[in-house]
A and B are shown apart, each in its own frame.
Chain A
Amino acid sequence: MEISPALLFNAIIAGLLLGGLYAAMSVGISISFGMLDVVNIAHPGFIILGSYIAYIVNSRYGFDPIAVAIILSPLFFLLGRMLYRVYYVCFEKRGQESLRGLAFFFGILFITEVALILVFGVDYRTVSGVYTDVTWRLGVVDFPLRMVVPFLVSLVMVIGLQLFLTHTFFGRAVLAVAQDQLALRLMGVDPVRIKELAFALSIATAGIAGALLIVIQPLEPSVGREYIGLVFAVCVLGGMGSIWGTLAGALVLGLAESFTATFFGPSWAPAVSFGMLLLALAFRPSGLLGR
């Protein structure tokens, strides 16, 4: 295929926009899995829960789905706190977090899925907003707003999280809990409480990511499972626990997917993306920006 400038620029923009969505979906995993060592396999389930909450409010009251998700993110934060509390008491405290904890989060994923099916049924749901069917054109490059708006929100969320984690006491405590919990205790900080709040933060990001996802594509309750591989891949590729790394990993996977779909055939996209992940693991096991 001839590589025209229009095709090339559009592939770059589409890849970046897609990467923005992937970053929003993965940043929570970067916190829970990368920093707290909690293998929250139910993360995509909470993303879908966020999608459905955005859908309900949007379809009933016409409010913007992303604004709804941001406003309701404290609820996800509270949900995250409760969930971590259960996880801590039942598994982490007893040193059974590895395998049983994993099973616990699998269970949570399926419970979320089944609850959504029982309440909403299995039809595909989507949202509408003033920007969902609008595309801006700048020269030869298209900017579909249903991709641009989620990208911008994701960027703000990721940058905000990075600033929060590096410029506040709580944020530095979260980074410390991943490295040395004993040292944190010696400084008078309760690592369990820090982990609880950080985990809650990761679930809050899932709620917002859910709204971004349903703006981009229609969803049904079981679709969350399909993103388990993706969110962990982004986290590992970017570097465990690195927020900038998550953003970089997400953008790299988005660009890889877009370029492969445009120039080589979309069927190859997953192979190329995960091939890159394997290469990264082989030559830079700590990920793109991991320490």
Chain B
Amino acid sequence: MPVRARGVLGIMARALGAILTGLILAGAAFAQQPLRIGFGMSLTGPLGGNGTAALIAMELWRDDVNAKGGLLGRKVEFLYYDDQTNPATVPGIYSKLLDVDKVDLVVSGYGTNVIAPAMPIMMQRKLTFMSLFGLNVNEKFKYDRYFQIMPAGPNPAIGWSQGFFDTAMALNPKPQTVALVGADAEYPHLALEGARAHAKRTGLKVVYDKTYPPKTVDYAPIVRAIQATNPDIVFVASYPPDSVGMVRAANEVGLKTRMFGGGLVGPQFAALRSQLGPLLNGVVNYEFYVPELRQQFPDLQRFLAKYQVRAKTAGVDPLGFYLPPYAYAMMQVLEQAIAKVGSLDQGKLAEYIHKNEFDTFVGKVRFAQNGEWATSRVIMTQYHSIAGNDVDQFKYPGKVTVLYPKEYRNGDVKAPYHENKK
């Protein structure tokens, strides 16, 4: 080969080498880019306390993942905005996260009210959307890349109140009538929809079925109107402030019924549980974890130990039994899916999540076709023996009887409600 040609080849080889080196270096640099997960979260407004507790749990997950080297070799970062518990802010937040901030992944904020308005954006962009405690959101959207971590089962509206109605129908004599009441908001409406289906299934006559504005100050007139219909059982679907109002009013009015509660959001959180204190005695309500079930959820203790330290500093839910473990679990699902898929391909992630079971702090999670838990695990409980307002009493077993499901049950419901308020 002529000397000149060898020289040209040498130059080309060096150029190719330089390009390759550049590409490798660029690749390495890209690998160092953080993986950014965006979301809106209720940090103020009526659900601000709950949202902040969820955020702490998600940050614990982020720190744990980063301590293990991140995801796909990239450090995980969060980018989030306060949705103020206001659904109207949600579309703007997710548009900004995706178009301006250009995050790599998005997850939902806390609650049905803020998940539903994010859905059209997720569907339009075909994003895999892990969501946190939305009740039956996908019923209307039927989006195949939607997943929801609250254990309400494949038919959430039904699964949500199944335990309440099954417990009621096991009473002797069987109840004949039911009153249904809830706030004018997304979650209570969906919960009441399920309760109506249960009333139909069980042959209960609905004697009161009304909603109230969330800004109601005095709930006594509502409870008196319910009392006037003399229902055998009362199912309530409410958010924290109105849960307090309804429980207080039931005590003040001296509501006489055999079972009261079901879908009260609020008593699961330490602040409201300790504020209501003995007024909760006799109320039957849903939970996702209670200290009576320690043996069944051994991994949860590890999470709670870490969470409770941070929650104390942040001044939010010091117990963390309800939402925080599931916020962490939601991120664990995403983490495991990304690790197995090996990319952020939204279609492959959704496919993987649909087909596989995940090991999380809240136990094994498998999703149904509609993105909800494959089997319901809503625990129905009855509060009792609550004395005073000290929050520490709720850290240990002894204040709750687990009524449903069968595998966790440790006692029978005490009815009627008005004779068991101790």
- Using a CB–CB cutoff of 8 Å, the interface residues on chain A facing chain B are 1-2, 4, 7, 10-11, 14-15, 17-18, 21, 113, 117, 120-126, 128, 133, 135, 142, 144, 146-147, 216-218, 220-223, 226, 257-259, 261-263, 265-267, 269-270
Contacts and interface: CB of A to CB of B under 8 A. Distances in A.
Nearest to B53: A123
B374 interface: no
Nearest to A260: B221
Contact of B315 (A10, A120, A217): A120
A15 B224 CA distance: 13
Contacts, number: 130
A171 to B, nearest CB: 30
B272 A122 contact: no
A121 B45 CA distance: 11
Interface string B245-282: 10010011110000000000000010110010001000
Given A124-B240, A269-B213, 15 more contacts: A7-B228, A11-B224, A18-B218, A123-B271, A124-B272, A124-B275, A135-B252, A144-B252, A147-B220, A217-B244, A217-B245, A218-B275, A220-B49, A261-B221, A266-B213
B217 A217 contact: yes
Given A18-B217, A124-B272, A133-B279, A263 B315 contact: no
Give 7 nearest A-B pairs by CB, closest first. A122-B48, A266-B212, A123-B49, A261-B221, A121-B315, A144-B252, A262-B221
A43 to B, nearest CB: 17
A2, A15, A121: most-surrounded residue (chain B CB, <10 A): A121
Interface in B23-70: 43-46, 48-49, 51-52
B222 A147 contact: no
Contact of B49 (A14, A113, A124, A261): A124
Contacts of B225: 1, 7, 261-263
B221 A270 contact: no
Contact of B210 (A135, A226, A258, A265): A265
Contacts of A17: 218
Contacts of B52: 121-122
A124 B241 contact: yes
B44 A222 contact: yes
A147 B228 contact: no
Nearest to B214: A226
A218 B315 contact: no
B211 interface: yes
Interface of B: 43-46, 48-49, 51-52, 84, 184, 210-213, 215-218, 220-222, 224-225, 228-229, 240-241, 244-245, 248, 251-254, 269, 271-272, 275, 279, 314-317, 389
B224 A7 contact: yes
Contacts of B51: 122
Contact of B220 (A121, A144, A263): A144
A26 to B, nearest CB: 13
B208 to A, nearest CB: 9
B83 to A, nearest CB: 12
Nearest to B209: A265
Contacts of A10: 220-221, 224
B271 A124 contact: yes
A88 B140 CA distance: 54
Contacts of A4: 228
Given A7-B228, A218-B244, A261 B45 contact: no
